[in-house]
Structure 1
Amino acid sequence: MKAVRFYGKEDVRVEDTSPPGAPGSKQVVVKPLVCGICGTDLHEYAAGPIHTPLHKHAFTGAVLPQILGHEFSATVTEVGQDVTRVRQGDRVSIQPLIMPMDDYYSRRGLNHLSPRMATAGLNYPWGGLGEYAIVNDYNVNKLPDSVDDQQGALVEPAAVALNAVERAKVHGGSSVFIAGGGPIGALSALASAALGASTIFVSEPNAQRRKQIEALGVTTMVIDPKSEDIFELLREKTEEGVGVDSAVECSGTEAGLNACCGVVRNHGTVTQVGLHVRKALVDPALWAQKDLTIEATWGYPITIWPRIIGMIERGIFPVQKIVTSQIPADLIVEHGFKRLLDPDNNEMKVLVRMG
């Protein structure tokens, strides 16, 4: 079968590899339909291996070269004898986290925090950028007819965003500030709107992305942090100048995190979701003075999939709005990785059409 495989820094190949065999009793063979290119994939391409395994993964046994792709929809082609949740022909969205189901964290419903956790498309033998993949029965979530393949592939990044926004305590009538207008920042704006936020501010230095965020139709204001004073602006735009109720840091930068802590009101909540590539200089004295809650998030609870699929089906979480391109797998290096890593690119979210 054809697959997109990662070998090392700037070394991604579209090549033939062996297809999966028959599924185990609680496994499912799927044929990927649409797969998103994630920021994590870009980090691997530009500077990896980071999460991809140079040596056999302790739980999954995966080792480079790695089939990429952890944001994907698929069609079920074969099920194990003990699988009852789906059947052959069902369209599904893949929840890609794979971990022991009986360790300390999983027994407490925190499966995504297991130290042995792996991710399809990163450190598991199969991924969404192959013609076929094997996953576990708990990885598949059936899609209703009204949720298309593209939307099904976007449930994974939407899960990151919704978890972050909920951890920031966003609810009906909330005011929210989001630092970073990339795919997760855009989805965080859509998630905030879905939860009933009344005012949504997004900070993004890239002019093209500011236009894309505005086009979502849910923001109150999109701010250029290079030319505007975020702190003064949000004091003017909030009641008595106190700041916003919640802030979500999606840029993975020191400046973004400190901006969130600066614009949130006293006793507000800041959620860190963007992955920082270096240590940040922060001001914990300010956190204490303002009595802030700082929430750091990693991934999402694996139980979040049905909720997001339901929100998409109802039309309140239009995740497809962030998509700017769909490409075939053969063009993934030139039109996917290289284009997305170009600082002057006009892309928000690139999806890969499989098959």
Structure 2
Amino acid sequence: MQKPQNLSFVLKDVQKLEFEDRPLPHLKDPNDVLIRVKFTGICGSDCGQIGPFKLEQPMVLGHESSGIVEQVGSKVTTLKVGDRVTMEPGEPCRRCNKCKIGKYNLCPAMAFAATPPYDGTLARYYRLPEDFCYKLPNSMSLEQGALVEPLGVAVHLVRQADISPGTSVIVFGAGPVGLLCCAVAKVFGAEKVIAVDIQLSRLDFARKFEATSTFLPEKVSASQNAERMRIENGLGDGADIVIDASGAEASINTGIHVLHPGGTYVQGGMGRDEVNFPITLACTKELNIKGSFRYSSGDYQLAIQLISTGKVKAEDLVTDIVQFGDAERAFEQAKAGTGLKFLIAGPEE
């Protein structure tokens, strides 16, 4: 039997996963590089649908990856074969107005890995432009390199929030991105960082990680939970900043209630397409409300710096590293919520 050339982990249909030998990627441009993928993290969006993006044909999963440069195009100058890199898994058009002002994450033609219809990185090889592959410092492992992507998401969320020293920040959702938001907020100078979740195990981890305190919501109204949160954490008339990394309607409502007038709310979690929203309260408080989507200029570089200098210990979130052949089991464990972050090692030679 012929050995697979580009063994890939494919989402064939909803809840149907298979290994498949895909064609070897070819360099499309002299500025491209070919990466041998070494580690890939599992993300909650690896399900075939995120927001308006829905699975319509089989798709290779994965977008949180690191690897080793296998081949370089003729015009590549910053990388060479054998370099260890973390991969920013999206290609914008580079020509539209959003790209030109540095907000390439909003490019309408973005080809993002494992977002339908584009294949992801859970394969032996993956192709990317040179400038979307970042050489890892010697102080960083390839495992850490696979964590730059979720940290980049957190960096972008925190930058959207304009956190400054001494501020109070509430993060809803103590999954990987929410926990990393707590860590980045502290790096940015936040004095109080409160993690909110409905799972006690995640709140326990948050306290050991970077949250200064935690909050377990009760089955009461959003205003009642917000009032208890203010009292327990000495927030006076409310928090300075709320970051929602959950997408849950109850969290969104509580977040609006717990902010002080003039506070900032940043939405990063994606749940249902539409939710009930306390718009009158948001208006009368004159809140600054922002969305946050993936990452843009400078976010990956900062994420690398935070890990390489030890300011954010993203590796503490890793529950397990599994072999490529056990990828489906890792996805099942992640879906069941039995851990925080699972990494899948690339196919062996």
TM-score, normalization by structure 2: 0.91
Structure 1's 22 and 119: CA in aligned 2 closer, same or farther, altered over 3 A?
A: closer
Q: Distance in 2 between matches of 1:98 and 1:91?
A: 20
Aligned residue among 157, 166, 169 for 2:150: 157
Q: Counterparts in 2 of 1:61-140, with a 5 A limit? A: 64-123=57-116, 126-140=119-133
Aligned to 2:341: 349
The answer for the alignment partner of 2:18 in structure 1 is: 13
**Residue 236 of structure 1 aligns to a residue in which SS?**
helix
Matched, 1:298 2:293: yes
- Which amino acid in structure 2 is aligned with residue 354 of structure 1? G
Which amino acid counterpart does residue 72 of structure 2 have in structure 1?
A: V
Correspondence 1:247 to 2:266:
no
8 Å Cα contact 1:173/1:196 also seen in 2: yes
Cα deviation, residue 16, structure 1: 2.0
One-letter code aligned to 2:259? V
Name 1:25's counterpart in structure 2.
30
1:34-53 to 2 correspondence within 5 Å?
34-41=39-46, 43-44=47-48, 51=53
Q: Which runs of 5+ in 2 are unaligned?
A: 1-5
SS state of the match for residue 105, structure 1?
helix
Moved more, 116-125 or 167-176: 116-125
Name the CA distance, whole Å, in 1 between partners of 2:50 and 2:95: 31
Structure 2 counterpart of 1:175, from 168, 190, 214: 168
Where 2:298 maps in the other structure, the secondary structure is helix
1:123 to partner: Cα distance: 4.2
How do 1:136-151 residues align onto structure 2 when only pairs under 5 Å count? 136-151=129-144
- Report how many residues are paired: 339
How has the CA–CA distance of structure 1 residues 156 and 215 changed in structure 2, closer, same or farther, with 3 Å as cutoff? same
Structure 2 residue aligned with 1:193: 186
Query: Which whole-Å CA distance do the structure 2 matches of 1:272 and 1:305 have between them?
Result: 20
Helix, strand or coil for the counterpart of 2:139? coil
Q: Indicate whether 1:281 and 2:276 are aligned.
A: yes
2:3 corresponds in structure 1 to: none
Residues 266 and 292 of structure 1 are in contact (CA less than 8 Å); yes or no, is this contact kept in structure 2? yes
Could you tell me whether the CA contact under 8 Å between 2:179 and 2:206 is conserved in 1? yes
Distance 1:22-1:261 versus aligned 2 partners, 3 A rule? closer
Looking at structure 2, the residues matched to 108 and 69 of structure 1 have their Cα atoms a distance apart, in angstroms, of 28
- 1:338 and 2:340 matched: no
CA contact (8 A) 1:160 1:299 kept: yes
Runs of at least 4 residues off by over 4 Å: 47-50, 123-126, 237-240
Deviations 1:258-313 (A, max 9, x none): 11111111111000000122411111111111111011111111432112111211
1:302-348 Cα offsets, whole Å, 9 max, x none, are 43211211121111121112111111121121x22222222xx4311
Q: Within 2, Cα distance between the matches of 1:310 and 1:161? A: 14
Shift of residue 193, structure 1, vs aligned partner: 1.3
Q: Structure 1's 187 and 74: CA in aligned 2 closer, same or farther, altered over 3 A?
A: same
Aligned twin of 1:207: 200
Deviations 1:162-214 (A, max 9, x none): 11112112121111101111111111111111112111111110122122222
Q: Provide the rounded CA distance (Å) in 2 between the counterparts of 1:240 and 1:35.
A: 39
Deviation per CA, 1:76-100: give whole Å up to 9, x if none.
0110000112111111111111121
Residue of structure 2 equivalent to 1:59: none
